[in-house]
Amino acid sequence: MKTVIAGGLVWYQGSLRRLDLSINEGKVEKLGPELDRTGAEVVDASGLWVLPGAIDPHVHLAESMAGVSTADDFFTGTRSAAAGGTTTIIDFCEPQPGEAPLVALERRMQQAEDAIIDYGFHFAFTEDYARQLECIGRLWDAGITTFKAFLAYPGLALTPAALYAVLEAVGARGGMLLLHAELGDVADLLRNRYLGQPARAHALSRPAFVESAAIELALGLARAAGTRLYVVHVSSAAGLLALERARSRRQKVHGETCPHYLEFSTGHLEGPGGAAFIMSPPLREPEDAAALWQGLKSGSLEVLATDHCPFPLEAKLGPSSFDAVPNGVGSLGLRPSYLFSAGVYGGRLGLGEFVRLTTENPARLFGLWPQKGMLAPGSDADLVLWDPSATWTMSQGHQQGGEDHSLYQGMEFAGQVAMTMARGDVIYCRDRGVCAPAGRGRYLVRGLPSPILRESRGARLG
């Protein structure tokens, strides 16, 4: 069945244009003024913008931390994604102690069978990295071209030598290494000074230099190895500055931040509900958030991802000491709405930046472009009908996933998802909610990361 999205303003080649868009067999077929509608199902997009479906390259579904399971599995998490206009996610394949990489991949594939949108995996190295590196070719053949290393967390933190070995192996294939940039040993030392204290101590135990020093270390090693580095969840002005310096040396480096670092600060960790705001790296100061917004505007930060890793409120608020609280918060269903409202509507970003940060840049960097991340003939028909003039207030009723609370509760948003389509299927609409069955998502075999076109400089860098 052919579908024509008619009467909307379509995001095409960097601007909104009055075009119809036809879909056939899950792909965008044509764009043009007043396309032939004979025999087609027509979706009236009058008053709406037609944007490419957003891509979230940093989520944690069906995981556990400190013995607590995340509030979202692949079904509930991808439901909330669909409701928020996200049509692709990339999660992680992180082996459990003693688990072989391909067994871990098989396990994650099974867990993801219920996803309603398309998904891929980054492979996360653990302290068993040497054995895992022996399997890198088979992981690559399975469509994994991006890998992750941690410098913090017991069982995951790599030494500098291990990080260098991983960088060399990933770089030899043209892959990209994602980095959780915190010096775990330093964080552990500081944690021991604050044991037994409530949530605010989490930020004191992981100050900004713990992040920026980790970034500096990894940048030096990645430069020597010649490997493309992507720093996940950049939280501080100091961390961003380290990235910017490397960028000015023309190093192949990319940075991501998350909605919580833009919206909240250490003050939110105070008081009885403060532990709900615990994630790592921790919340920073308002000046850091201002620097991150500036980084998104200037292109120093190229991706807004969620690092979606929510836990039930009871698990967050139960422990009396900050170090026993499972780390992570959720926003998978809110990321595009948040960036549109606080960024575009708030006058900090243009619509082009919004689309690049949530959609185009992740598609390019994570080897999905041009299948995903754009609306052009031959691309997957993943799209969002966006209502730029709607306003709404976040309430429990908007949660389409498994979270029992939201840090964004009561927040007012400008702009709203009216409909989400993925490979031509309507998977969400405002009046009916999510309308896609478990298991409609497909695993994505991803290609090589490709550089981002930096429009402002008119040149391909990195």
Site for ligand URP, rule CB under 6 A: 60, 180, 233, 279-280, 307, 309, 327-328
Q: Please report how close the Cβ of residue 265 comes to ligand URP at its closest, in angstroms.
A: 16
- Among Zn ion, ligand URP, none, residue 328 binds (CB under 5-8 Å by kind): ligand URP
Question: Closer CB to ligand URP, residue 60 or residue 79?
Answer: 60
Judge contact between 40 and 2, C-beta under 8 A. yes
Stretch that binds Zn ion, among 129-137, 158-166, 220-228, 302-310 (CB under 5 A): 302-310
Stretch that binds Zn ion, among 48-56, 111-119, 179-187, 249-257 (CB under 5 A): 179-187
Q: Is 221 helix (H, G, I), strand (E, B) or coil?
A: helix
Closest CA to 241 of 265, 208, 274: 208
- Among ligand URP, Zn ion, none, residue 279 binds (CB under 5-8 Å by kind): ligand URP
Question: Closer CB to ligand URP, residue 61 or residue 434?
Answer: 61
Between strands 412-422 and 383-393, the pairing is antiparallel
Q: Map tokens 């840049």 to a residue.
A: 361
Judge contact between 280 and 206, C-beta under 8 A. yes
Q: Please report how close the Cβ of residue 215 comes to Zn ion at its closest, in angstroms.
A: 13
Q: Please report how close the Cβ of residue 392 comes to ligand URP at its closest, in angstroms.
A: 27
Stretch that binds Zn ion, among 65-73, 210-218, 306-314, 388-396 (CB under 5 A): 306-314
User: What does 38-61 look like in DSSP terms, one character per residue?
Assistant: TTPEEEE-TT-EEEEPEEE--B--
What is the torsional sign of CA 88, 357, 179, 449? positive
CA distance 176 to 356: 19
Q: Please report how close the Cβ of residue 322 comes to ligand URP at its closest, in angstroms.
A: 12
CA distance 205 to 192: 8
Q: Does 335 bind Zn ion (CB under 5 A)?
A: no
| Number of Cβ within a 10 Å radius of residue 31 | 19
Question: Closer CB to ligand URP, residue 23 or residue 325?
Answer: 325
Q: Map tokens 């979706």 to a residue.
A: 43
In sequence order, the 6+-apart residues with CB closer than 8 A to the CB of 240 are 234, 255, 291, 292, 295, 300, 301
CA distance 111 to 105: 10
**Pseudo-torsion of CA 156, 158, 162, 163, nearest 10°?**
110
Closest CA to 257 of 239, 278, 244, 276: 239
Question: Closer CB to Zn ion, residue 308 or residue 398?
Answer: 308
CA distance 167 to 213: 18
Between strands 453-454 and 459-460, the pairing is antiparallel
Tokens of 443: 């695993």
Q: Please report how close the Cβ of residue 150 comes to ligand URP at its closest, in angstroms.
A: 7
Between strands 68-69 and 86-93, the pairing is unpaired
Q: Please report how close the Cβ of residue 242 comes to ligand URP at its closest, in angstroms.
A: 18
Q: Map tokens 């390019």 to a residue.
A: 364
Instruction: Identify the residue among 79, 122, 148, 180 touching Zn ion (CB under 5 A).
Output: 180
Q: Does 307 bind Zn ion (CB under 5 A)?
A: yes
Q: Please report how close the Cβ of residue 307 comes to Zn ion at its closest, in angstroms.
A: 4
Q: Please report how close the Cβ of residue 303 comes to Zn ion at its closest, in angstroms.
A: 13
- Among Zn ion, ligand URP, none, residue 205 binds (CB under 5-8 Å by kind): none
Stretch that binds Zn ion, among 129-137, 215-223, 299-307, 416-424 (CB under 5 A): 299-307
| Separate counts of helices (H) and strands (E) for the chain | 15, 23
Question: Closer CB to ligand URP, residue 255 or residue 328?
Answer: 328
Stretch that binds Zn ion, among 128-136, 178-186, 239-247, 353-361 (CB under 5 A): 178-186
Q: Please report how close the Cβ of residue 309 comes to ligand URP at its closest, in angstroms.
A: 4
Stretch that binds Zn ion, among 73-81, 208-216, 301-309, 431-439 (CB under 5 A): 301-309
Q: What's the one-letter identity of residue 350? A: G
Question: Closer CB to ligand URP, residue 124 or residue 240?
Answer: 124
Terminal-to-terminal C-alpha distance of the chain? 42
- Among Zn ion, ligand URP, none, residue 316 binds (CB under 5-8 Å by kind): none
Q: Does 94 bind Zn ion (CB under 5 A)?
A: no
- Among Zn ion, ligand URP, none, residue 327 binds (CB under 5-8 Å by kind): ligand URP
Q: Which residues bind Zn ion (CB under 5 A)?
A: 180, 307
